[in-house]
A and B are shown apart, each in its own frame.
Chain A
Amino acid sequence: NAGVMQNPRHLVRRRGQEARLRCSPMKGHSHVYWYRQLPEEGLKFMVYLQKENIIDESGMPKERFSAEFPKEGPSILRIQQVVRGDSAAYFCASSPYPGQGNGREQFFGPGTRLTVL
């Protein structure tokens, strides 16, 4: 059973370009979380999605950032018009169980390291 897959592992963009990060959850998992890790900092929650639904996007910047988890295919985190401050590691995590917090641990992918020049 493959773990959480993220691609690309490294992404370099120039200011103003778009960055598209992909996450394939573990098989059987229908819940995806995106976190951002700035250099020398902990992970910060961005968004929680189920298939075709955004459940909580309270941690996502209002502008330029969007996320989706379609019925088929991976979850996508999209950053439009990137700026240098967007440089960070973006981690995706998945979990199998629906509903409110039930203590199930999340399984993390290897992350995408975004560098904005």
Chain B
Amino acid sequence: AQSVAQPEDQVNVAEGNPLTVKCTYSVSGNPYLFWYVQYPNRGLQFLLKYITGDNLVKGSYGFEAEFNKSQTSFHLKKPSALVSDSALYFCAVTRRGEAAGNKLTFGGGTRVLVKP
């Protein structure tokens, strides 16, 4: 079975400051890891993913994430947060070669609030 933990329900940060959203995962075999963002009353938008290769992955809107295999983590980061980054962020994992396609297991989500 695979699982994702997002230990913080909410992260508050001042605009212009660095933003980090934590994610740890558990999966048998090699993982594919994803970050999605959800704005109020909207669907999920894809931000970035780790498949293989460089552990630092760059994505949309200035976000990046670092895959750390030894710590089974995939934290999302942004060097300088914007008020418009306020949203709900989800980390998700699937297992490479998952028989059911890309069936995703999601974390519980972290609400990010960026204050001006």
Q: Do A and B originate from a single complex?
A: yes
Residues in chain A within 8 A of chain B (CB atoms)? 4, 6, 31, 33, 35, 41-45, 48, 55-56, 58, 91, 93, 95, 98-111, 113
Chain A: which residue is nearest B33 at the CB level? A103
- Specify which chain A residues have a CB less than 8 angstroms from the CB of B41 in the assembled complex: 110, 113
- Specify which chain B residues have a CB less than 8 angstroms from the CB of A55 in the assembled complex: 100-101
Knowing A31-B101, A42-B107, A55-B101, the reply to whether A110 touches B43 (Cβ < 8 A) is yes
Q: Are A43 and B106 in contact (CB under 8 A)?
A: yes
A20 to B90 alpha-carbon distance, docked (Å)? 27
A93 to B94 alpha-carbon distance, docked (Å)? 15
Q: Are B108 and A105 in contact (CB under 8 A)?
A: no
A58 to B2 alpha-carbon distance, docked (Å)? 14
Q: Are A105 and B49 in contact (CB under 8 A)?
A: yes
8 Å CB contact of B101 from A4, A101, A113: A101
User: In this assembly, does B105 line the interface, its C-beta being within 8 Å of a C-beta of chain A?
Assistant: yes
Q: Are B103 and A33 in contact (CB under 8 A)?
A: yes
Which 6 residue pairs of A and B lie closest in terms of their CB atoms, listed nearest first? A101-B98, A56-B100, A42-B106, A108-B43, A103-B51, A108-B44
